[in-house]
Amino acid sequence: MTENLLLAFGLTLMAGLATGIGSLLALLTSKTNTKFLSVALGFSAGVMIYVSMVEIFVKANESLSSAVGDELGGWLTAAGFFGGMILIALIDKFIPKQGNPHELKKVEDMNQGKATGSQDPALLKIGTFTALAIAIHNFPEGIATFTSALQDPALGVAIAIAVAIHNIPEGIAVSVPIYFATGDKKKAFKLSFLSGLSEPLGAVAAYLFLMPYMSDTMFGIIFAGVAGIMVFISLDELLPAAKRYDEAHLSIYGLIAGMAVMALSLLLI
| Measured torsion, CA atoms of residues 196, 198, 204, 207, in degrees rounded to the nearest 10 | -100
166 is in an annotated binding site: yes
33 is in an annotated binding site: no
DSSP 8-state class, residue 151: H
Give the Cα-Cα-Cα angle 196, 133, 185 (nearest 5 degrees). 55
138 is in an annotated binding site: yes
CA dist list (Å): 95 to 129, 130, 150, 188: 8, 9, 30, 20
3-state secondary structure 27-79: HHCCCCCHHHHHHHHHHHHHHHHHHHHHHHHHHHHHHHHHHHCHHHHHHHHHH
3-state secondary structure 135-149: HHHHHHHHHHHHHHH
**End-to-end CA separation in angstroms for the chain:** 19
What is the C-alpha separation between 200 and 48, in angstroms, rounded? Answer: 19
Are 38 and 246 a contacting pair, CB within 8 Å?
yes
What is the C-alpha separation between 269 and 265, in angstroms, rounded? Answer: 6
170 is in an annotated binding site: yes
Overall residue count recorded for the chain in this entry: 269
What is the C-alpha separation between 51 and 48, in angstroms, rounded? Answer: 5
Residues making up the binding site: 138, 141, 166-167, 170, 199
Residues making up the binding site for Fe(2+): 138, 141, 167, 170, 199
Residues making up the binding site for Zn(2+): 141, 166, 170
